[in-house]
Structure 1
Amino acid sequence: MKPFSYVRATSLREATAAHARLPGSRYLAGGTNLVDLMKLGVENPAALVDISGLPLADIELLPAGTLRIGATARNSDVAAHPLVRAHHPALAQALLAGASAQLRNAATTGGNLLQRTRCPYFQDVSAPCNKRDPGSGCAARDGVHRDHAVLGHSEHCVATHPSDMAVALAALDADIELYGETGTRTVPATAFHRLPGERPEQDTVIGDGEIVTAVLLPAAAPGAVSLYRKARERASYAFALVSVAVVLDLDPAARRVRRVALAFGGLAHRPWRAATAEERLTGAEPTAEAVREAVDAELAQARPLRDNAHKITLARNLACDALATLARRAQDGRPSTP
């Protein structure tokens, strides 16, 4: 491992000042992704600014029902929190599906959002990868890409984003709170992660030196239900081939969709919010035919690679099943359960 300097920040101001003072520095919280990448030689920070001791771990209910989850709140604590389980069960389900209990006990909310792709070519410093080494090429396009993107990819990168939590946050219309030298700002979760385009090395819209300080979840609509489902190679501790997060607000009397939010994981460089499917389902009766047509309209945008067209079928089946499950629960007045 290459040598690096270390600073343990005692305030947000001190953390951003240290980051600005130390070129090539990175923030460290749980370290479950960054430290692994340092061991592989993918990340080589000149300095680590440790923010794990900052008071950013609280989970609190704000006025108007907004739930604020601090950036250093551990994934296990968020998944088990009564307010999360009661009002945003899709988030609890996504976190519980995301990793082993040991990792959930160490991984943080902010770190989960900022984790980098698990593309094996990105993690192999001997392979060309535009995300790791801009301009070197994308080995995955003509290589082993069974697990790679079918939506929103470019000639420069076909990697997918690995987070389960981020998919749930996209469907839940969360905001990401950021702190930098110019103060605090918020970014919608749906706009936080980027598609690769010509700059796949830029995973997010976070500015230089900014710190994720919290996730903000708006109050759930009365009667709305949510669900997270995941398809993977083995029963646990595996990244998603495809995942889906759904929030459904159904008028049980008219059996019409008042509002629906649908997000896919495992299909793109970022969580994929299915705007086309949502538009088609809003105001409609969620019959099996209507749901399938809406999901198919969304997936018509897919551009599968040589070996990953199976992801389209997986995504269709997961989404249709999740929507049907939530429609039954909403109709019966049964809440979602983690």
Structure 2
Amino acid sequence: MAPVSGHAQLFKKKNKKKKSEIQGFVLEEGVTPEERQKALERQLVSPVRKMLNRFNFQIEKSYGYFAYQNPLEGVSVIRNPRNDLLYLVPLGEETGTNLPATGYTNWFNRLETTTIDYIDDDSQIVRTDTASFAYSNSGRYNPLTLRVSLSLKKLDRGHFERTGEKRYLDDDLIRVGGGIGFGAMKFRHPSSEQDVDPILRRYSLPETKLSTTKLFGSVSYNFYSLGDFSMLADVYGGVWKIKASQVNKEQVTYDPFFNVGLMFQTTFSKYFKGYIRPSFEMRSYTLADDAISMPHKFTMFSIDLGLLLKYPTYPRNRYVANQVQMEHVFNGKMYRGRPFYKKQNPRYGQNRVRRKPGGSFFPIIKQKKSKKGSGKGN
């Protein structure tokens, strides 16, 4: 009976082992390749770095030109030839029956008034309801702009059609963000001019340089990519203002501004990009009180030079950076072997490994030369 019981126990053990193998196989089959890849990424890649990598930091320096227009409506423009005083009065108050009247001598950055007791007969008067009257000027605008945006990546459609697995490329499809800009509008001429009446001539500007600040939201869409080159439609808009000491805050009202640009981008690495962005921008503000309203309009054209930086997904490997240039696993973590501004994952070594003098290779040469020289001497 002993042999029979021994065979029975052996049979039971084999069945138990077989059952565990079947269970293990079923459990392994339940894990999809996508889940396995995500588990591997969680083990090798820092989730904080992966999240920060989705954001972009952009810095832009612009070199531009603006055209300025000050259309006058609802007023009469008057110049007194005896004291060369140029001023505005509301329509209808330029007649002698309405005197004394309130005249405006500054309608550019703060409404400054003077009392008009008498209008000379030889004063030049133009009513803006009978002629289209506008003062114009131009100047330079070279702002510095900082932006932060969130990237939505392009889907690798070819890989998705072949495998059904969603994999995203390094190229951005859409960037959504916002920023802040600083810059001064410097007028080219100290006086604005008009071409309606030569006697009214020029209007001298109280300020020839306006310091401005802007806050905005932006959207960029990548509509064309070829290798390291991309073209993006870039639009942003928001609010802006002039430095408080240069304008009367109680009288000024700012209209929202908008900016449309086309971004020509080149990729130095997936963490570092550069671009040139021709752009067009519209701004305006209005000075007003109970009697008059003065609009001021700016049309800007600029070329923006920008850099875009991303936080690297993988840290730099300080131990083997001069040997391994590709992204690689080291001590259970994912590392990059290249600086952030150089391309990652080259198919072949982009930089030849150079050994320093005094290394393992050079002493062999020196040793051979010394032996050869000693032979000649003997």
Verify same fold: TM over 0.5: no
The TM-score range, normalised by the shorter chain, is under 0.3
State which structure, 1 or 2, has the greater radius of gyration over its C-alpha atoms: 2
- Normalising by structure 2, we get a TM-score of 0.20
- Between Structure 1 and Structure 2, the one with more helix by share is 1
